[in-house]
Structure 1
Amino acid sequence: MPDQPDTHVRTVSDRVARIHWSPELSERGWQAAVDVVRRDVAAALVDHDRVEALVAVDDAQSHRIATWSGLRREGVQRGVDGDRVVYARLVDDVPVHEPHGFRALLNSFLPRKRAISQMLIRDTSPEPRVLLCQLTYKTDWDLPGGVVEVGESPQLAVAREVEEELGLEIAAGQLVLTDWLPPWGGWDDALCLVFDGGTHDPSLVGRIVPQAREIRSAEFCTLAEVDERAADFSARRIRSALANLGGGPAYTESGR
């Protein structure tokens, strides 16, 4: 009986192939396996525009083989029989031995963090007050801001969010606080960057045009009202940001 091949390549749709390798190939060691998979991927790209591999999330050795064979990580395909990480190489991808191609390969699998930008806007009242938003999608109030888009400056992102959500044109000042948010309630961890939005007359709230889809209202709130309306970690973040005004960027974890 002939030996089974170490890899199997089949066409799964128009000009798209999928490669699978045996556990025996993985057992030879990742470097030897990489040579085989890289060769077969290159051969498949002669007649296909895309070659992909689906790797079980807990198969560390196969993840290494896929990566160093030049397959870029694209995401996770969920399934009732287990999740799979999707790797692929396109016929026009820059070769891995070229600097741009190698950087693109690394960029596909190195960790990424979600970034959130918020703005600390105060008014001129004798007692410290900060602008808080009452949100449509959660019960607790929060600073204005939002998620930073891919390739977007966090400083410009928060000014964009304030304009989109509140109709206010306020340039973001210096970075006041970097707050790390641990995984929570179905969210991955994230970095929250708080920028100084300056001090304004209390009449600022009269110019607010809330984006109805996300914002119910916005008010200047005392620290006691912040503690009452905001989540505990948000209240801690606001107090830390206020305490650091003018002191240069600071770092906290969940506001601590």
Structure 2
Amino acid sequence: MSDQRPTVTTRDEGVALITWSATLQDQGWLVALEAVSQEVEKALADHVRVEALVPVGDETGQRIATWSGLRREGVLRGVPGPGGDADQILFARLAGDVPHSQPDGFRALLNSFLPRKRAISQMLVRGPEDRVLLCRLTYKDDWDLPGGVVEVGESPQVAVSREVSEELGLTIPAGPLLLTDWLPPWGGWDDAICLVFDGGRHDGDLLDDMVRQEREIRAAEFCTPEQVEERCADFTARRVRAALASLGGNGPTYTQSGE
């Protein structure tokens, strides 16, 4: 782009795309920010939405897009361009968005790009003879504690009871938090925080009332410590051991992959 000013084009009815050059960024990010901000405001006068696509590796461009009031919406993979296909971050601002100069708008802007950690809630349900309730899932071979992913805006303690109800048909209130276990990136998953809550001790006939969600649960049963070691992935077995130790007051309350 020979012109150092940002360019605004209408890409669809009511939708504008703003672009700017590396030459503009070379003048300093504050200079570029002022120029981009001005063009965004102008574009919003006759568009309901203004977008910008910034390469994943262009940190300065992302900074300019963000502080001009464009909220990060996600990553578009393999977008065709002059230099070949590349991943691009989509930023956008709507005409009805609260300006980022106001507290509500500023918080919404931060919320669009700050990291969001995935949370998983699990329940340690104990049966007779120190057995632990484990589930064999349909999408992996090893067994795991009952539970699942916490929904957006949901309490982790509420989430684990919901998951147990949905997947096993059991109503078990979640007790105190026993363990926080950080899971590193693995097998295509991003990292996550796993929270293990106390599900209490129950008689063996608890599972007589179980109604499995067959789409996700192949089987569920109370397992001995030896079966936990045999059936679970190493990191899951470590998590179960750590949660049991925490329950007895002799273990850690925070682990990393169960260690």
Q: Distance in 1 between matches of 2:230 and 2:69?
A: 52
Once residues 179 and 77 of structure 2 are traced to their aligned partners in structure 1, the CA distance between those partners, rounded to angstroms, is 36
Q: What is the CA distance between 1:249 and its match in structure 2?
A: 7.6
- Matching residue of 1:203: 205
- Kindly state the Cα deviation for residue 223 of structure 1 after the two structures are TM-superposed: 1.2
Q: Counterpart in 2 of 1:253?
A: 256
Q: Which moved more, 1:245-254 or 1:103-112?
A: 245-254
Separation in 2, partners of 1:73, 1:29: 22
The partner residue of 1:95 within 94, 99, 109 is 99
> Which residue of the partner structure matches residue 75 of structure 1?
74
Q: C-alpha deviations, 1:15-40, integer Å up to 9, x for none?
A: 01111111011111111111111110
- Letter in structure 1 aligned against 2:128: T
Report how far residue 6 of structure 1 moved: 2.1
* Contact 2:242/2:252 (8 A) holds in 1: no
Write the distance in 2 (CA, Å) between the matches of 1:83 and 1:211.
38
Counterpart in 2 of 1:19?
18
In structure 1, how many angstroms separate the alpha carbons of the residues matched to 2:252 and 2:228? 22
| CA positional deviation for 1:206 | 1.5
Partner of 1:47: 46
Structure 1 stretches (4+) deviating beyond 4 angstroms?
Answer: none
Deviation at 1:246, TM superposition (A): 5.2
Unpaired stretches in structure 1, ≥5 consecutive residues: none
Identify unmatched segments of 5+ residues in structure 2: 80-84
Q: State the alpha-carbon separation in 1 of the partners of residues 158 and 248 from structure 2.
A: 20
Q: Distance in 1 between matches of 2:35 and 2:190?
A: 35
- What amino acid sits opposite 1:121 in the alignment? V
Does the Cα contact within 8 Å between 1:6 and 1:25 map onto a contact in 2?
A: yes
Deviation string 1:180-211 (CA, Å, 9 cap, x unpaired) is 00000111000000000000001111111100
Deviations 1:98-126, CA, capped at 9 Å, x for gaps = 0010011111111111000000000132x
**Preserved contact between residue 116 and residue 147 of structure 1 (Cα < 8 Å):** yes
Q: What residue number does 1:34 align with?
A: 33
**What is the aligned residue count?**
252
TM-score (normalised: structure 2): 0.95
The reply on whether 1:4 has 2:3 as its aligned counterpart is yes
TM-score, normalization by structure 1: 0.96
Are the counterparts in 2 of residues 178 and 249 from structure 1 also a CA contact under 8 Å? no
SS in 1 for 2:36: helix
| SS of residue paired to 1:88 | strand
Please give the alpha-carbon distance, in whole angstroms, between the structure 1 residues aligned to 2:238 and 2:198: 16
CA–CA distance in structure 1, aligned partners of residues 216 and 252 of structure 2:
29
Matched residue, 2:124: 120
* Identical-residue share of aligned pairs (%): 66
Counterpart AA for 1:188: D
Aligned-residue RMSD, C-alpha: 1.2
Contact 1:175 1:249 in 2 (8 A): no
**In structure 2, how many angstroms separate the alpha carbons of the residues matched to 1:246 and 1:87?**
49
